[in-house]
Amino acid sequence: MVLNVVLAGDFDCVRRP
């Protein structure tokens, strides 16, 4: 679940630079 959170955060940053 921790990895999921990190992945979600990274995706958010990439989607909203």
pLDDT score, position 13: 62
Query: Vertex 10, ends 4 and 13: CA angle to 5°?
Result: 140
pLDDT score, position 3: 64
pLDDT score, position 10: 73
Q: CA 2 to CA 16: how far, in whole Å? A: 21
> Residue 5 is encoded by which pair of tokens?
């959170």
pLDDT score, position 14: 63
- Give 12's DSSP letter: H
pLDDT (tens digit, 0 to 9) for every residue of the chain, 17 residues total?
566 666 666 776 666 66
